[in-house]
Amino acid sequence: MNFSVNAALDMLRYATPRDRPTAATRIYDDLRQKILSLDIPPGTNLLRAELAREYDVSQTPLRDALQRLEQDDLVLIYPQSRTLVTRIDLPKIHQAHFLRVALETEVVRRLAQRGAPEVVARARSVNELQRSVADDRDQLRVFQQLDEYFHRVLFEGLEQDDLHGLIRSRAGHLDRVRRLQVHSDAKITNILDGHQEMLDAIEAQDETAAIAALRAHLHKNLDWVEEFRTRFPDYFA
C-alpha cells in the first residue's frame, strides 16, 4: 500500500488520537477487508492460532474481532470447534441493497437541501484519493476502502454515523458479490464520475439530481448476481 495514501486515509478516518483503533478493531478491519475482497473466500476455516501469530496478539482481541465479524454475518463461530467464513446469501443481498438505497437517498436529499459545503469538500478529497490509485491494480483494495469511506462521509455530514454502521453491518454479502466483478477501467471511471455527479448536485442544492445520481450509482449492483451465482457456485449458500 502506498504510504502517502495510507496515511491520508488514516487521517481522514481518525480525526483525533482518541479515534485511533484498538488491536481488536485493527484485526477486525483487516479480516473484514480480506473477506470482502475475497482474499479469504467463503467457506474458509479461520484458524485462531494462526491468526494470533499473524497479528501478534493474544486470544482476547482476536476473539473480540471475530465476534464483530459474526455480528456482520461474515463468519460463523462454532464454540470449541471452528470459525468459518459465511457463504454469500442471496436474500441478504437484496435486503442490504434495499436498506442502503432507502437510507442513502434520504441522506443525499437532506445534504442537497443545504448544499453542505464542508461535507462536499471532505467527500471530494476522498474521491481524489480514489482517483490517485485508480490506475494501479495493486491498489484495488485501497480503492475499495476509499469507496466505502466516501459514502460514510455523507452520513457523517448529517451526524448519522450509526446508520452508516447499520448499512455496513448488513452489506457483507452484497459487497462480496460486487468484488466478483472485473474492475475494468470503464467501471472505475463510472464509480468516480458517479461520486462527482452526486457532489456537484449536492453543492448546487439540486435534490432531484442528487437522488438520481445516487440511484444510478447504486442500482447497477444487482444486475449480475445470478450470473455470478452460476459461475462461482461454491461461494454461495
The predicted pLDDT at position 2 comes to: 46
Does the structure show a pLDDT above 80 at 7? no
Section 137-148 average pLDDT: 85
Q: Which three cell numbers mark 99?
A: 436498506
Section 156-162 average pLDDT: 95
Does the structure show a pLDDT above 60 at 6? no
Q: Is 90-235 assigned to CATH 3.40.30?
A: no
The predicted pLDDT at position 75 comes to: 98
- Specify which of 8-12, 150-154, 171-175 reaches the highest per-range mean pLDDT: 150-154
53-106 residue pLDDT tens: 999 999 999 999 999 999 999 999 998 889 999 999 999 999 999 999 999 999
Residue 186 Cα distances to 124, 191, 193, angstroms: 20, 9, 10
- CATH code matching the domain that covers 3-85, chosen among 1.10.10.10, 1.25.50.10, 3.40.50.300, 3.40.50.2300: 1.10.10.10
34-55 residue pLDDT tens: 999 899 999 999 999 999 999 9
For residue 114, what pLDDT band results from cuts at 50, 70 and 90? Answer: very high
CA distance 237 to 234: 8
Q: pTM above the 0.75 mark?
A: yes
What average pLDDT does the chain have? 89
Section 130-152 average pLDDT: 88
The reply to whether 3-85 and 90-235 are identical in fold is no
| Domain parsing of the chain, residue ranges | 3-85, 90-235
Q: How crowded is residue 66: how many other Cβ atoms within 10 Å of its Cβ?
A: 22
For residue 201, what pLDDT band results from cuts at 50, 70 and 90? Answer: very high
The predicted pLDDT at position 5 comes to: 58
Q: Which helix (H) or strand (E) holds 80?
A: none
For residue 224, what pLDDT band results from cuts at 50, 70 and 90? Answer: confident
Closest listed residue to residue 150, CA positions, set 131, 174, 177: 131
